[in-house]
Amino acid sequence: MYQQISIQDAKKLLQATDVIIIDIRDLESYQQSHIKNAIYLTVNELQNFCQFTPKNKSILVYCYHGISSQNVAKHLAEQGFEMVYSLIGGYEVVQLGDQM
């Protein structure tokens, strides 16, 4: 199961644990700006990610508005990842001044 997480709780999570941050927006948007240490991942790359990433890693997924990231977070949870989070509001809340 995955959890939706506010930007405030995401900040706390990033300070407290080693988190893999996944940006699922388009490549151009990622290249222009992204959360520090985020990796760019396409839907096509999810299978390899699931295969080679330890299931006990904390994962924070974000998209533009927090909608598409829920589907990816759900998929990751279904693949056996134990700590998966979807950022409520997506990168839009980061751009509105809540820098991470």
CATH of the domain at 46: 3.40.250.10
16-75 pLDDT per residue, tens: 889 999 999 999 999 999 999 999 999 899 999 999 999 999 999 999 999 999 999 999
Give the Cα separation of 94 and 96 in Å (integer).
5
Structural domain of residue 45, as residue ranges? 2-95
Beta bridge partners, 21, equal 60
What's the structural domain count of the chain?
1
Please report whether residue 100 resides in a domain. no
* pLDDT higher than 80, residue 97: no
Supply the pTM of this predicted model.
0.93
63 flagged as catalytic: yes
Please report whether residue 21 resides in a domain. yes
Q: How many CA atoms lie within 13 A of 53 on its CB side?
A: 23
Please report whether residue 86 resides in a domain. yes
pLDDT for the residue numbered 100 = 59
Catalytic pick among 19, 63, 83, 93: 63
